[in-house]
Amino acid sequence: MLPLTISKAARRFGDRAAFRLPSGASISYSDIDRISDEVAAGLAERGLGEGDVLLLSLPSGPEYAVAYLAAAKIGAVTAGANPRLRARERGLVAATVDPTLVLATEALAGGLPDNLEVELLIPTEDPGRMLDALRVTHYSVPNLAEDPERAVCICFTSGSTGDPRGAWFTNRQLAAIAEMDTGGAWGSGGQLVAGTAFAHVGVMTKLPWQLASGATIHVMDRWDAGRLLDLLEHHRLPAVNGVAAQIALLLRHPEFDDHDLSSIRAIVVGGGPSPPALVHEARRRFDAPYSIRYSSTESGGIGLGTSLEADDDEALHTVGRPRSGVAAEVRGDDGLPVQPGEVGEMWLRTPSAMSGYWGDPVGTTTTLVEGWLRTGDLASVDPAGCHRLAGRASEMFIRGGYNVYPLEVEAVLGTHPGIDQVAVVPRPDDVLGEIGVAVVVPSNPDRPPTLDQLVAHGRSDLSSYKLPAAVRIVDRLPLNSGDKLDRRALAAEEAGQQADG
């Protein structure tokens, strides 16, 4: 799919900028098609072919995209290592996919096993020198036969619950995602901002329709709130996209109110739940509706969403309903649907779902069951048909024999006026087994909320066993490489504090 898409895009859009860097430098649609042809020939000369894995440990930018396109032109499978990974994590990613070749910068080569063939690259803004060590002009790569089941890319989960797992996708899924996101439309044009690393599922699986749109994609090697605000204002973008943590950083930028953001007609946020207080503030200050998109790496970035016309209850407290073409069910431990209002595991059925975990048949069999994707997320369905998340199955903890779901507690505590951000995590307890700790970033650091105040605030909406038994005030909550809350790190901190105590 990618080879045909970029060749057609090059013919239709020619010298239009496909990618624009913060410096203002750009690379055209014609350039990326031509350069990826030459890089594809170079990869073929190095022995890569259909089914081989190319691992990219590169910054987000044109080099990454061109190498991805080049690999697709020879039938190789591209795996991306998020540039924010640490050396140990990068080594785990490489071990998972066992690549035939790795392309990396010197800064992002640490941790790669010594037995791998690694080619070091130096990023450049000059299309004439881009990936020059890989480019071959004297050899043309034969056109690949169309194969819907050919593997194209491997996208890694953030690793917040353990070692990274690589979800792999074929041409069939990429075509389904393009159809579900855009209806397969061509040439809508405009400006896009890459809000996530290029190794993220939000770029790897959506690049076909982004290229087909003919848009200019603005690249930020590392996401920056001030830079994004400038882009939103200068290009009069109609929507702001990102994850909840990024929206929070935009709102807290000291120059937010100095920007003219009147063009924004929608705020579309994925990558995890959005606290109700954040949704409320963002809707007010952007003067635009806020849509939460629930999905996962394994679902190809497609799942549920709240309506842009949602009432306060749907917008603030749910992740909405399944998108067109998606089915969702909440099931119990027996695999059968639970009653409305009961908590169970969210199962999805969507043509965008991964083919499996690369090199992990056992994990694949556990996660993909008779055409359904087990998400591992706990949820319930309300009378309006909206889904309410209760957290990950692995995040649930048990206090005195009662199950506590952190997201449920956070949704209530997060409406306290003294709270900017909150996460509820377990702490080991000699009597109750585990207790809940509210880790709070206060709105006013000089007057943080007390435990008594939080308990009083939540008592009318939460059973007593769900209320926190301790509070810890912090400057910020830790995020993982996917800009999601790192609950694993917080829980480890609590366990360490209990041991020290």
Q: Whole-number mean pLDDT of the chain?
A: 91
Tens digit of each residue's pLDDT (9 = 90 or more) over 100-109: 999 999 999 9
For 418-454, how does the pLDDT look when each residue is reduced to its tens digit (9 = 90+)? 999 999 999 887 777 789 999 999 999 999 999 999 9
On the question of pLDDT at 11 being above 60, the answer is yes
Say what percent of the chain tops pLDDT 70: 97
Which tens digits make up the pLDDT trace of 198-231? 999 999 999 999 999 999 999 987 889 999 999 9
pLDDT of residue 497: 64
Rounded to whole angstroms, the Cα distance separating 305 from 302 reads 9
The span from the CA of 54 to the CA of 84, in Å, is 19
Q: For tokens 């050919």, name the residue.
A: 150
Closest CA to 121 of 327, 439, 313, 130: 130
* Distance (Å, whole) CA 167 – CA 79: 10
DSSP annotation of 485 reads B
> Taking the model in full, what pTM does it have?
0.83
Write the pLDDT tens digit of every residue in 171-199. Answer: 999 999 999 999 888 988 889 998 788 99
458-471 average pLDDT score: 89
Q: 403-416 b/e with 16+ CB inside 10 Å = b? A: ebbbbbbbbbbbbb
Nearest partner of 208 among 21, 69, 44, judged by Cα: 69
How far apart are the two ends of the chain, measured CA to CA in Å? 57
DSSP 200: S
pLDDT value at residue 500: 52
Give the tens place of pLDDT for each residue, 116-145: 999 999 999 999 999 999 999 988 888 898
Question: For residues 82 and 172, which has the higher predicted lDDT (pLDDT)?
Answer: 172
Q: Tell me the C-alpha distance between 34 and 473, whole Å.
A: 54
Q: Alpha-carbon distance 71 to 3, whole Å? A: 9
Confidence at residue 432, expressed as pLDDT on a 0 to 100 scale: 77
Of 413, 200, 394, the C-alpha closest to 301 is 200
Query: What is the pLDDT at residue 322?
Result: 97
- Give exposure, 442-472, as e/b (b: 16+ Cβ within 10 Å): beeeeebbebeebbebbeeebeebbbbbebb
Q: What is the mean pLDDT of residues 322-331?
A: 96
Residue 284 pLDDT > 80 = yes
Domains located in the chain, CATH noted: 2-218 (3.40.50.12780), 225-392 (3.40.50.12780), 397-500 (3.30.300.30)
Cβ atoms of residues 283 and 496 within 8 Å: no
Q: CB neighbours of 325 closer than 8 A, spacing ≥ 6?
A: 176, 180, 302, 350, 351
Tell me whether residue 254 is exposed, middle or buried, using C-beta atoms within 10 angstroms of its C-beta: 0 to 12, 13 to 18, 19 or more.
exposed
Q: What is the pLDDT of residue 140?
A: 81
Q: What is the pLDDT of residue 161?
A: 42
Per-residue pLDDT at 481:
67
Residue 89: in which H helix or E strand, if any?
helix 87-97
344 three-state secondary structure? strand
